[in-house]
Amino acid sequence: MHPLLYELNTRCWLQSLSEQHGHVIQLGNVPEEEFATWQRQGFTHLWLMGTWTICSRARESTLNDPDLIELFRKALPDWTPDDVTGSPYAVADYRVPETLGGEEGLRQFRVRLHEHGLKLILDFVPNHTGLGHPWVTMQPELFLQSPPGVRETFATDTNSGITWIAHGKDPFFPCWRDTAQLDYRRADTQAVMQEVLHGIAALCDGVRCDMAMLLLRDVFAKTWATFPKTAPAAPDEFWIEAIASVKRAFPDFLFMAEVYWDQERNLQQLGFDYTYDKWLYDHLAYDNYAETQNHLLDVAPDFLRRSVHFLENHDEQRAATRFTLEEHRVAALLTLGLPGMRFLHEGQMEGARIHLPVHLSRRPVERKDTQLASFYEKLLAALNNTSVGHGEFQILRPRSAWSENSTDHCFVIVQWQAAPDAFDLVVVNLAAQTSQCYVTPDIKGLARHEWRMEDLLGEEKYWRNGNEMAASGLYLALPPRGSQLFHFTSAK
């Protein structure tokens, strides 16, 4: 399976729908046209980002953070405190608040997704809880405790008295001051978080696991090496049994990991179905086209099949501000034409330019980029008429078109096939120069047929002799930042 995922900011999306329709829209009464659009566009999964109950203390922390306030001003100049919910990654309870439609609204939303052929992805935030989570008071032993006054910790009144607890953190950045760090060295912490995960799994079809690599034993030990252990160590990696136990109960449940630091393969081996492909994003964002080709040719096919390819998400800069229109088009075809999970973010197809902090429940109204929106509409429609995403795939290696021409390194070419008499080639030239290459499709019986070759994103149509393609290869010449989606059918 090569899913096509769409991420929605739940609170902002419902607020926008409510404004558009003139009445309150919650998960239980989302208009039919939303589901019909996702189905028409070919999405297989929808990620509702930020559906859980947010900690009220986290909201207070947010409103007292001058750096966040400045981000709010830049993203939403007319913001008010009423627009601030706090971070959805400072969870107080894995329940859907009534303001979003509650548990029944979520159930109805999921049923309607299934009726339109889509599955539901929700958040799992395993590393930490919100600052005011009930466990902080009632079960402080589950958290990473600290001697008094240590940097990036906080004191709180618990049923064990005043206790110092660490804030959650990524070791390369300042702590998240609206969170409390869970102690994954403890078996009881792992056990209760497995219970939480099972509760989520009953409500949806998969989870996006926030900062999943922070829980790895070696990562956790290095991050928190100076903090005392308060119980015997848990016997194994959290993810091994957590994933296995959920899949025993829900065999088709999907696990997607937000992961960095070359830990992707490790998490796949621990059971994750899909892991972020930040390497590809960085190569595209920094115009490293030769490294893009090398990355895709060098990784194992199974690793690529289990990677998540994206141009933006709620953590990253908006693609419309990172890439020119030409760069955006070619990168979009590449990320959507690769094997694995293909991931689009709300606003990406319309050219949204403002990166909205997740703490806000309202977003600014932006002018749609009609050129980009038209491109995405055409691209998704074209992909739906190919084997891309549901056939057998292969990353093909381009060859030099002639001696002293090294522009073959600028290409990425992905072959897809689902039927013996047809195949598709996703072809992109990532460079800001005209590039040429030869490539030989790896198709059984290629030489025995004449092939009709049509660019589904353009007007070009050709006939190509299979014997010549098998012997010499298919010649390709693309303009700067050029992209083509070729559909081949054999002559009857």
Query: Over the chain (492 residues), what is each successive 10-residue block's mean pLDDT?
Result: 97 98 98 98 99 94 95 98 97 98 98 99 99 95 94 92 95 95 96 98 99 97 90 87 98 98 97 98 93 95 98 98 97 98 99 98 97 98 97 97 95 97 98 97 95 96 95 97 97 76
Last residue within a domain, chosen from 383, 413, 438: 383
- Give the domain extent around 404: 392-490
Counted domains in the chain: 2
Looking at the structure, do residues 482 and 454 belong to the same domain, yes or no?
yes
Q: What is the CATH number of the domain that holds 404?
A: 2.60.40.1180
* φ/ψ (deg, to 5) at 254: -105, 135
Q: What is the pLDDT of residue 329?
A: 98
Beta strands 128-130; 153-158: pairing state? unpaired
- Taking the C-alpha atoms of residue 41 and residue 358, their distance in angstroms, rounded to an integer, is 26
Q: Three-state DSSP class for 297?
A: helix
301 shares its domain with 445: no
Picking from 383, 415, 434, the residue at the C-terminal end of a domain is 383
Helix (H, G, I), strand (E, B) or coil at 435: strand
Q: Please give the DSSP secondary-structure letter assigned to residue 84.
A: B
CB-based burial, 230-249: b 16+ in 10 Å, e otherwise: eeeebeebbbebbbeebbee
The 10s digit of each residue's pLDDT in 41-71 is: 999 999 999 999 999 999 999 999 999 999 9
pLDDT score of 477: 98
CA neighbor of 349 nearest in space, from 30, 37, 44: 37
Same domain, 13 and 154: yes
- Looking at residue 233, its pLDDT comes to 77
Per-residue pLDDT, 492: 65
Same-domain pairing of 201 and 311:
yes
> Side by side, which strands form the sheet with 411-419?
392-396, 411-419, 422-429, 483-490, 450-455, 461-465
Token couple for 34 = 């939303």
- 379 and 396 share one domain: no
Chosen domain end from 383, 401, 418? 383
Whether residue 41 is found in the same domain as residue 115: yes
